[in-house]
Structure 1
Amino acid sequence: MKTIKELLRDQNATVVDVRSEEEFNLSHHPGAINIPLDQVQQRADELGSMSKPLILYCRSGNRSGIAQAILKQLGVLEVYNGGGLEDMAQSLKK
């Protein structure tokens, strides 16, 4: 299984921040798009059509884990939990 660092190097990867719009506006991973957790289920088709792999993150990894489970249940493939924003930043540094 690929690491988040390896996944982030993939030119086709889509990074999705599942935190609130307010949290996203304060700071976010470079190039990330914001789809808050409470919108993930109704936007599953949109997420499923995005370039893969999908790397989800939040503040701690909890909300992104929930979003990952929702998407997998709905048949969206190549969805990964990137953990928290700090984890994502560390993956870029390693």
Structure 2
Amino acid sequence: MGLLSMLGLGGKSESISEFMAKGAIIVDVRTPGEYQGGHIKGSKNIPLNVLSEKIEEIKKWGKPVIACCASGMRSAQATSILKNNAVDAMNGGGWSSLQNKL
């Protein structure tokens, strides 16, 4: 394991596979229209603008969350919101590149 990995700055793929091994749920924070245009099979669509209202529901899942969006910007915001509310979360970045890592 490299120094960057120990600091949590290593490659996303390793973290994604670790999260998936723990039963992570993929949350796509794009708008419903964007989601309908294509998404990761089995992901849940919770748009960023309503994410804060859904925190208690997400906590009840009892699973880690991988947030994704179109480019990684909104999912970064979502990851921050989730972590600030004690949800084990990571930014998966853009949904299409995340899909390729699964």
Unaligned runs of 5+ in 1: none
SS in 1 for 2:61: coil
1:4 paired to 2:16:
yes
Alignment of 1:55-74 (within 5 A): 55-74=66-85
Counting helix residues as a fraction of each chain, which structure ranks higher?
Answer: 2
- Contact 1:29–1:85, Cα closer than 8 Å, also in 2: yes
Q: Which segments of structure 1 move beyond 2 Å, counting only runs of 4 or more?
A: 5-8
Determine if contact 1:13/1:51 at 8 Å carries over to the other structure.
Answer: no
Cα separation, 2, equivalents of 1:24 and 1:30: 11
- Look at both structures and tell me which one has the larger radius of gyration over its CA atoms: 2
| 1:39 to 1:66, Cα distance in 2 relative to 1, 3 A | same
Gaps of at least 5 residues in structure 2 are 1-7, 9-13
Displacement of 1:53 after TM fit?
A: 1.7
Q: Which moved more, 1:21-30 or 1:67-76?
A: 67-76
> When the two structures are aligned, how many residues end up with a matched partner?
90
Following the alignment from structure 2 to structure 1, what is the Cα–Cα distance between the partners of residues 89 and 76? 10
**Preserved contact between residue 22 and residue 63 of structure 2 (Cα < 8 Å):** no
Asked if 1:75 is matched to 2:80, the reply is no
Percent identity between the two aligned chains? 37
C-alpha displacement at 1:30, in angstroms? 1.2
Which structure has more relative contact order (CA 8 Å, sep 6+)? It is: 1
